[in-house]
């Protein structure tokens, strides 16, 4: 006859087996759910980028820190470029660091130059960003000898890819060039594709890229 001890051992063994089965089942279920969430997340990210490209009609969209950057592949004057940015709730790019400067240059890829949100149209020699912040000598990345206001008509800033760091140049605002603009990176809910679609429909409002600013008159003509 079985002793009480042997019965206890069998009961313990059965409990251990059941616990192992439950743990294995739980791990399997969690693994499947994790894989499904990963697939859904990747799908949502692809859809998000697709919505952005369709909405902004762009060829280049990239991210840096907490901002999203757009590169326009058509050419306009500085004022026209800025107006296009503001029509989409954004503004011409403001460069705040050497890391951001290097990122911008990689964003340009094979493009030689592009407008940035810098000008001295209000006061000659006093360069300001489009948000009103003054650009000082210790925070700039001007190319050697720039800004030089050649022909007394170079009041808008551009960035070119001839140099890794010192890559800013002043240029007549009436010239036509490609341009870069950026804004706060939108956050997308990942629970459902329906939520993704709803967020995309309200993207223009939710991006929160700052209020539209009144565009100054281009002294060189649009």
For 179-212, how does the pLDDT look when each residue is reduced to its tens digit (9 = 90+)?
A: 887 765 544 444 333 433 443 343 333 333 333 3
CATH of the domain at 88: 3.10.100.10
Look at residue 187 and tell me if it is in a domain: yes
User: Can you give the pLDDT at residue 75?
Assistant: 92
Number of domains in the chain: 1
106: containing domain: 58-206
> Does residue 174 belong to any structural domain of this protein?
yes
Both tokens assigned to 124: 């000659």
Would you give per-residue pLDDT tens digits along the chain (222 residues)?
Answer: 557 667 777 788 888 889 999 999 999 999 888 888 888 888 887 776 666 655 555 556 777 887 888 887 789 999 999 998 888 888 999 998 889 988 888 888 778 899 999 999 999 999 999 999 999 877 789 998 899 998 899 999 999 987 767 899 999 999 999 988 776 554 444 433 343 344 334 333 333 333 333 334 343 333
Exposure pattern of 163-187 as b/e (b: 16+ CB <10 Å)?
eeeebbbbbbbbbebbbbbbbeebe
Q: Note if the pTM is more than 0.85.
A: no
């Amino acid at each position: 006859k079985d002793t009480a001890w042997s019965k206890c051992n069998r009961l313990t063994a059965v409990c251990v087996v059941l616990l192992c089965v439950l743990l294995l089942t739980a791990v399997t279920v969690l693994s499947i759910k994790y894989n499904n969430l990963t697939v859904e997340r990747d799908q949502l990210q692809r859809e998000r980028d697709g919505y952005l490209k369709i909405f902004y009609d762009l060829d280049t969209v990239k991210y840096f820190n907490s901002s999203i950057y757009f590169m326009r592949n058509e050419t306009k004057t500085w004022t026209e470029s800025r107006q296009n940015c503001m029509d989409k709730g954004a503004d011409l790019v403001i460069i705040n660091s050497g890391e951001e400067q290097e990122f911008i240059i990689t964003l340009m890829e094979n493009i030689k130059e592009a407008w940035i949100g810098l000008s001295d149209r209000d006061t000659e020699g006093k360069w300001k960003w489009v948000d009103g912040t003054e650009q000082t000598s210790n925070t700039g990345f001007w190319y050697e000898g720039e800004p030089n206001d050649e022909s007394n008509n170079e009041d808008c800033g551009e960035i070119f890819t001839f140099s890794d760091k010192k890559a800013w140049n002043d240029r007549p605002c009436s010239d036509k060039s490609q341009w870069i603009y950026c804004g706060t990176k939108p956050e997308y809910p990942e629970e459902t594709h329906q939520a993704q679609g709803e967020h995309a429909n309200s993207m223009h409002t939710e991006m929160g890229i700052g209020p539209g600013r009144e565009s100054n008159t281009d002294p060189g003509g649009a």
